[in-house]
Structure 1
Amino acid sequence: MVTTRPPSPLYPSPPMVLRGVSWPTYKTLMAEVGGDRAWRIAYDRGVLELRMPLEEHEEPKGLLESFVEAIADELEIEVRKLGSLTLEREDLARAVEPDSCFYIQNEAAVRGRKIDLPNDPPPDLVIEADYTNSSVNKQSIYWALGVPELWRYTNQRLLVYARTESGYEQQNFSPGFPFLPIAEVGHFIEQSRTLGQRSAVRLFRHRIQAILSEQRG
């Protein structure tokens, strides 16, 4: 008897990759399937990748979103969270849906607006939680779109990248939040597995409060 392995997040289906997809074909496909879909896209000059988010993928992404919101509350600033907003530019023949994205420095400029690149600025921060390999270089897409800061959560570590003239360079600090203890973020996410998500967020918030209090003297 042949035994087939049931679907498991340990053995995720690879992304579907379509090549030779023109921009009009990409736009037609997106219009036909609409926004009510589970899979996310990345499009780079004719190559279209479709991928399904996983549970292991979504949980750290949600916690990172909560961490950004906690920081914003402690700083008493506005941020605009737009999740997996489709970022696309026909003139560059590139499009991508991040795991999440935020407007921070440019929040006031896009508040209440329907985002339209390049007439509007790109998000100030993009978040990617890596649990599947991508056939498309999404960092190059974000760079082309002008996203200034990229967070990648991979192997229980947060990696922070800043946009330069030639690409992204990994940083030891967040350009948007220089006080963020990057090396500790993975620990807070791992704590959520035993303490619960909201407890982990509260612990993170207390850590940020302590850092800001120390800076303010």
Structure 2
Amino acid sequence: MTSALLNDYFPLQVENGYQEEKFFTSGVNWPAYESFLTFLGNSSRYRVAYLLETLEIMSPSRNHELDKKAIARLLEVYLEEKRIRFWGLGSTTLKNKDKQAGKEPDECYCIGTDKDIPDLAIEVIYTSGGIDTLEIYRRLGVTEVWFWQNQQFTIYCLENDTYQTKPNSQVLPNLDLTFMSQYVTINDPLEAITQWREQIKSNTTF
């Protein structure tokens, strides 16, 4: 993997940040995957996923990044106001050589106590297809995954080594994600945070 390869597959990605591209390649062994992560370093330009020798490289769009930041801010306001201890790990690379799986989530969190593997991963979906994200998280042992797609959340909870869809978060059972989704879509981030904080303070049900 070289910078030339990346340029070949992502020629349009810098046009105002609206272009979102995905590239897949198979036959990538674990040392090659780790070498590629080292090559990218701390770059936020790409998200990398790995499962059983298949590598996925994604260049997130502007809207993708706006949504993921909005969700993170809203969630962190909720955790702060409810005095729930959390560790925000952002897009930290999660990987397990024995399970042949690795992922850089859009956002991820340890809730209650700090852990090697987060309790919650959040994925913003703008382009369909690709590596089986839930299979990666299952192999890594992430307790809960939220998918944000078409302006709504889908919640997956790990039970008996299988993800099950749930109407509510199990990690944060009092958080109404349907209600929170209304604030993700507000165009003014400051207004969204201000209104959301007021709702949390005035609403005793979540």
TM-score, scaled relative to structure 1: 0.82
Aligned to 1:206: 198
Give deviations 1:28-63, integer Å, cap 9, x for gaps: 222233223511100001000000011111111111
From 60, 74, 77, the counterpart of 1:70: 77
Specify every segment of 5 or more residues in structure 2 that has no aligned partner in the other structure, as ranges: 1-11
Tell me, in whole angstroms, the C-alpha distance in 2 between the residues paired with 1:128 and 1:33: 21
From 19, 24, 32, the counterpart of 1:17: 24
Q: Does 1:58 align with 2:65?
A: yes
Q: Partner amino acid for 1:211?
A: N
Alpha-carbon distance change, 48 to 152 in structure 1, aligned in 2, over 3 angstroms: same
Q: How does 1:37-186 map to 2 (within 5 A)?
A: 37-107=44-114, 110=115, 120=116, 122-186=117-181
CA contact (8 A) 1:74 1:209 kept: yes
Tell me, in whole angstroms, the C-alpha distance in 2 between the residues paired with 1:97 and 1:189: 21
Deviating above 3 A after TM superposition, structure 1's stretches of 4 or more consecutive aligned residues are 5-10
Alpha-carbon distance change, 62 to 13 in structure 1, aligned in 2, over 3 angstroms: closer
From 36, 42, 51, the counterpart of 2:43: 36
Higher strand share: 2
Tell me, in whole angstroms, the C-alpha distance in 1 between the residues paired with 2:146 and 2:129: 16
CA contact (8 A) 1:179 1:211 kept: no
Aligned to 1:117: none
| Identity within the alignment, % | 28
Larger Rg: 1
Q: Partner amino acid for 1:132?
A: T
CA contact (8 A) 2:20 2:61 kept: no
Specify every segment of 5 or more residues in structure 1 that has no aligned partner in the other structure, as ranges: 111-119
TM-score, scaled relative to structure 2: 0.86
Aligned residues: 194
